Every structure is written in C-alpha cells, then in structure tokens.
Structure 1
Amino acid sequence: MADAATLEMREDGAGKVVALAGRIDTAAAARLWEGLLAEARGSAAIDLAAVTALDTTGATLLLSAEAVAGPGALRNAGPPVAAVLDRVRAALAAPRPKPEPRLPPLALVGRAAVRAGRGLLDSVAFLGEVIATGLLTLLRPGRLRWRELLRHLDEAGTRAFPLAVLLGVLLGVILAFQSAIPLRRFGAEVFVPNLVGISLLRELGPLMAGVILAGRTGSAYAAELGTMTVNEEVAALRIMGIDPMALLVLPRVLAGMLVMPVLSLLLTLAGLAGMAAIMGLFGFPLATVSQQLRGFVALSDLLGGLAKAVVFGLAIAAIGCRAGLGAGSGPRAVGDAATGAVVGGIVAIVVLDGIFAVAYERLGL
C-alpha cells in the first residue's frame, strides 16, 4: 500500500535520526513497536514530517519512543498528527482512578448490611409515596388515568387467566395424588378434600397467584418503566411538572391489587376441580367431595386468603415499579431491573406469607 508505515534511519549534523512515514495506525504500531523503541535509544530525533495519519495506538507508540529517546525527540509533526499526540499525551498524563481498597471480611459484611438497610429504607419510602399518592387521588380522582388502569387490569388479569387455571388444575391434581398416598395406608382418602381445600384457600392459592403475577406482571412493569428511565422519559415527565407516581405507578399498583384476589380465587377453584377429578378416579363421587369441603372449610379461610392476595398484589406491583424507576444506565439496566422485580416479588410474598401465618395463628383465624 502507498501509505504503509515505514521506518528509516539516517544521519544528520546532530546525530542519528529515525524517520517515520505513512499511516501509523494500530496494525502499523504492532509491526513497528519493537523496532522503533530499539532504534529510538540514542537517537537525536524522531522525524514525523512524512507521517500522513495517526490513531491513538500509533500516538501511544510515538510517545513511548519519545520517552526512550528523550523529551522533545518528536519533530516536524503536521497539525493533525500533533493534535492527536497532544490529546493522547493529555490522556496519559491524567490521574488514574484509585483502585478500590480491599476490605477485610468483617468490613465487607458491614458494607453489605448497610447497603441492604439503605435499600430497605428506600423501599419503605417508595411504598409510603405510593400510599400518599393513592390518598391524594381519592381527593382528586381526576389524577388517575382510568384508561391506563383498565389496560393494566387486562394485561395483568385477563391475559393471566389461562395460566392460572392450568397451574390450579395441575396443583390440585398433584396435591390430591400426594395426599392420597399416605392417607391410603389408614383408609382415610376421604379426607383428601379437607387437606387440599384448606391448603389452596389459605396458602397455595394466593402464593401461586403471587408467583404468576411476579413472573408475568412484575417483570413487565420493571421492563416498561426501566426502558422509560434509561431513555430519560421519566426525567422529562418530572421536568414538565408531571408526577410519575400518579401517571405511571399508581395505575399499575391498583391493577396488581385488584387482579390478585381474582387470580387467587380462580386458581383455587381450578385446583379444587382438579382435586375433585382425582377423587372421582379413586371412587369418591362429587357429592362426597363437596360435603367434605363444606364441613371443613369456612368462609373465613377464603376471606383470609383473599386478604393476603391483595397485600401480595400491592407488594409485587410496588417492587416491580420501583425496580423500573431505579434502573441504571447501559444495555443491562432493563434486564437487571426485570430480574430484580421477579426475585424481589417472590421473596416479598414468601416473607409476607410467613407474617400472615403468624398473625392468623395469634388472632385465632
């Protein structure tokens, strides 16, 4: 190539001169690196008059050669070449960021605890802001975007009905089979509806509905709001004086709270239907199953499960929205937000379920 980099040695009155010509780019720097540094030792100057182009790698090579030959060894550089050299020289002279100090294990545990505490405080503050926005909306209902609420009700609820029915039926079938195996040893298969019914109504119905909501809707909330945050659309709303909590968060939280009892009830009914089908295979008619359920399961069990479902919906929707609004920058921000929403939602409903279990036991419910 006509502009291929070349290295030539010549003598002048001041001593040995290293003359470079052509395009000094990354490929040329790799080829000339060792030879130029070797020839630069003891040279009076490095002539750049014939250099036609220079990139940052080539500039790094020339500055390294100058350090070997001595200050001021680079001469006759054209304006474009001199500009690249000045930029790279300034970048190399800039102070390097200090490496993060290595902390002892106890300090690492303490830092993790402090970060967890700050995250918990931020979550509580976000939940308080959501509740405050909801109370203000009661005074001014016009702040709520009803069309958005209906859209989220459809996406979080109606479109999740087939999945809830499928999981409910499978859960009822599995529970009935697994319960019948040990009870058959005592001839007590007739009590399978009692066990499955109370499990679905009080625990598994709301819990599995919460898992569905966290996997489908919580991640969707985090992805949508995370994309808006990365694209600075949320910041633009704040600049225009529009409250993102009322515009973006409140419809999603209300939708999560409203659809969770419906999903829980639908999943529970589907599970009872699956259990009844298995009991039919064992030779128990539907009337026997219904009688066992009516004699053992009370309305308080159903209402207790639905109350838990409402709280689960609030927690899942709030965690998903907070993960989206707190998304960072970069290509992984949205994915990390969605992952955090799913994990946080599932952990939250398990913790809340334990709290409800203790509370119900203390209250005698």
Structure 2
Amino acid sequence: MARRSTTESGEQPATVTLVEGRTLRCQGAWTMPEVARAERVLAAMDWPTGGAFRFEGSGIAAFDTGGAVVLSRAVMDARLRGCEVTVEGLRSEYLQLMSLVSANWSVMMAHVAVRPDGTQLLQALLRKSMTQALQGLEFVGRTSTALVRVMSSPARIRWRSTLNSLRLDGVNALPITGLLTFLIGVVIAYQGAEQLRKFGTNIFIVDLVGISLLREIAPLIAAILIAGRSGSAYAAQIGTMKVTEELDALQTFGLSPIELLVLPRVLALVVALPLLTVYADVLGVFGGMLIASNQLNVSFTAFLTRFEEAVALRHFLIGIGKAPFFAVIIALVGCYQGFQIRGGVDDVGRHTTISVVQSIFLVIIFDALCSILLNWWDL
C-alpha cells in the first residue's frame, strides 16, 4: 500500500526541469496518480557523464511511495553514469521515505509483476507440459520394471489385492455399464431409424448399431465410465495414503508401493475392462434390437441374421483389442496422480479431478490414433 504524506485534490502533476545541465528541479505532486509524466521524462533523459549533479526538491508539494520510487530510480541512473549525486530541498519526511525505498529496493523489484507476452506464455506452457510428460514416463518406466520383476517371480503378485480390485472395478461396475450402453444402443437405433425410414432401408439399422457399438462406442463408453469410477478412486486412495504417511510406512518396512498398490490395480483393470466391453456390446446391441423391432419392424430373427452377415468379426476384435490399452492408461494415470499429491485434503480432490480429465483425454486420443491407423490399413 502506498504511503502518502500530504496530498490535496487539485495538485499540479509532477514536473522535472533541467537547469544549467547539472541541476534537476522537481516540482508538483510526486504521488502515484500524478507522477507518470515526470517518470516518462526521466526515462528518456540523457544524463551527463561524471561530475556533480543535484536534485532540487523544494518545489515538491506532495510525496508518496510512487514518487519515492521514481525519484530513487532517477538518482540511481545518474549515479550509474558516474555522477556525484546530491538531493537537496526535500522535507525530512520525504527524505525518510526515500531512504526506506532505497533500503528495500531489491525486495521491491523482486515483486514487480512483469506481464509475459504470448511467446513467453507458450514457452512456459511447453516447459510445464514437457516436465509433466517426463515425470509420467518415469512413472511408467518404474511400473514396467516392477511388472517385469513380478512376472519373473509370480509369488510376489498380490493376488488378494488383484482379486479385490477385480471385484470392485469389474463386478461392481456391471449395473451402470450395462444400463448406459443399453441406453446408448437405444439412442443410436432410434436416431438412425428416423433417417433410414425415409429411404426404405430399415434393415441397415443393423449395420449402424452393430459396427458403431462393437468397434467404437461400447469400448469407449466403458473406458470413460471406468475412468470416472475407478481412476478417480485410485488417485483418492493412494493420495489419502500419502497424506496420512502410510506410503512412508510401507517403504520403511521395505515394501514397494508400486508392487503393492499399482500393479494389482493395473492387472485387475486389464482383465475387467475387456469383459465389461463384451458385456456392453451385448446390452447395447440388445437395445438397438428393441428399437429396430418397434420402430422399423425388423424382427429379432431378421436383426440377428443381418448382424451375422454385415458385422464382421474384426469389428468386435478391434473393440476388444483397444480395451486393455484403455485399462492401462486409466490405471496408470489414476495411480500416478495419487502419488503426486503433496498437500492435504484439498490436494487430494484436485488430483482426483485431474486424474479423471487426463484419463478420458488420453483414452480419446489413443482411440483417435487407432482409428487413423486402422483406416490406413483398411481394417
């Protein structure tokens, strides 16, 4: 907060006048609202080199921290040019304020906010992104090393933790996954029926529902549900353990947190998500069958016959093949964000949210890359 001595409304703006090349006469109100003009003049001033130089401040009518900063900077600029500077005519309280500013100059300048331009913002964003990417790759490397070590000695696998995670993340997710994919199948078939009926191509509802669900929508919806349901739980559980120093206790006992907490979740999700995807495929197609029967007069028998002819096995295999990769992404991101928690409960909530957002983002990016590559390979 600015410290102001005596300020009255209607004061003249701060002015500087160079007299005989060696005296700078300062007049007016050297306060924050009025000092801008004098600051511009001082910034453009061509200071003499060497010799005596005098600042004459008897004409200063008001003075605050802003004026003290501007005048102190001018004094330092003159001294940098080798001048022997004296300040005369200032009131005692103004001199005290200048002394206070000069004594704390380095601290004040360290807190001056510099507005970065677009290039600086982009560079800062890229540096932060690269740092996070490298930390994430390091975590993936440590997890991979632990997985190789565990696979070489299967007795080290935490089977009880793995089965418990399989129950929580697989079996308990069946109701919400089935309901949502059933409704998705209903929506796709209903919207498609409105268009196919216009052209008399009702039977092609089978192609629309079958290929879109098996190849893309069912695995993606299942992965997004698991990211919101299980990925967030991983981050919250591990983060809470870190806040309560349980992870430190595990390391003290010689136990690896990655082997104990990360690998069981990864292995369980790699098994659970493909099975959930198959379950989602069945219920999604069933929802499409109901709408096809009610809206387009396509019987269940005709639907299944056309489904066998039109929907190739590769669409099902592609959808199922993506599910384990989705599972690895979700599990690793959730666990990684849990290990990144440093603060208290607020930090747990923040990283839990980040884990969900990053998991869904990376899953969609991976799915898009798969679609591009499979299109190049004509699959």
- The two structures have a TM-score, normalised by structure 2, of 0.69
**Displacement, 1:359?**
1.6
Q: Aligned partners of 1:100 and 1:311: how far apart in 2?
A: 48
Which residue of the partner structure matches residue 232 of structure 1?
A: 245
Which residue of the partner structure matches residue 29 of structure 1?
A: none
Which residue of the partner structure matches residue 211 of structure 1?
A: 224
Does 2:284 match 1:277? no
Q: Aligned partners of 1:304 and 1:132: how far apart in 2?
A: 28
Q: Aligned partners of 1:99 and 1:258: how far apart in 2?
A: 54
**Displacement, 1:186?**
0.7
CA distances 1:269-316 after superposition (whole Å, capped 9, x unpaired)? 100000011111021111110111111111111111111011001000
CA distances 1:214-254 after superposition (whole Å, capped 9, x unpaired)? 01000000000010111121122223321111011000111
Which residue of the partner structure matches residue 315 of structure 2?
A: 301
**Displacement, 1:110?**
0.9
Q: Aligned partners of 2:265 and 2:125: how far apart in 1?
A: 31
**Within-5 A mapping of 1:318-357:** 318-357=332-371
Q: Aligned partners of 1:99 and 1:254: how far apart in 2?
A: 50
Which residue of the partner structure matches residue 104 of structure 1?
A: 116
Helix, strand or coil at the partner of 2:279: helix
Which residue of the partner structure matches residue 272 of structure 2?
A: 259
Q: Aligned partners of 2:139 and 2:280: how far apart in 1?
A: 30
Letter in structure 1 aligned against 2:342: G
Q: 1:223 aligns with which of 236, 244, 251?
A: 236
1:194–1:296 contact (8 Å) kept in structure 2: yes
Q: Aligned partners of 2:137 and 2:110: how far apart in 1?
A: 34
When residues 279 and 249 of structure 1 are mapped into structure 2, their CA distance, relative to the original with a 3 A threshold, is same
1:168–1:267 contact (8 Å) kept in structure 2: yes
**Within-5 A mapping of 1:138-149:** 138-149=151-162
**Displacement, 1:330?**
2.3
2:231–2:330 contact (8 Å) kept in structure 1: yes
2:188–2:288 contact (8 Å) kept in structure 1: yes
Q: 2:213 aligns with which of 182, 192, 200?
A: 200
Which residue of the partner structure matches residue 329 of structure 2?
A: 315
Instruction: Give unpaired runs (5+ residues) of structure 2.
Output: 1-106
When residues 101 and 243 of structure 1 are mapped into structure 2, their CA distance, relative to the original with a 3 A threshold, is farther
Equivalent pairs counted in the alignment come to 272
**Displacement, 1:107?**
1.2
Which residue of the partner structure matches residue 120 of structure 1?
A: 133
CA distances 1:65-122 after superposition (whole Å, capped 9, x unpaired)? xxxxxxxxxxxxxxxxxxxxxxxxxxxxxx8995384341221221111001111111
**Structure 1 residue runs of 4+, over 4 Å off?**
95-98
2:202–2:298 contact (8 Å) kept in structure 1: no
1:226–1:324 contact (8 Å) kept in structure 2: yes
- The two structures have a TM-score, normalised by structure 1, of 0.72
2:193–2:292 contact (8 Å) kept in structure 1: no
Helix, strand or coil at the partner of 2:345: coil
Q: Aligned partners of 1:298 and 1:135: how far apart in 2?
A: 36
Which segment is superposed worse, 148-157 or 117-126? 117-126
Letter in structure 1 aligned against 2:114: R
Which residue of the partner structure matches residue 172 of structure 1?
A: 185
Q: 2:165 aligns with which of 135, 139, 152?
A: 152
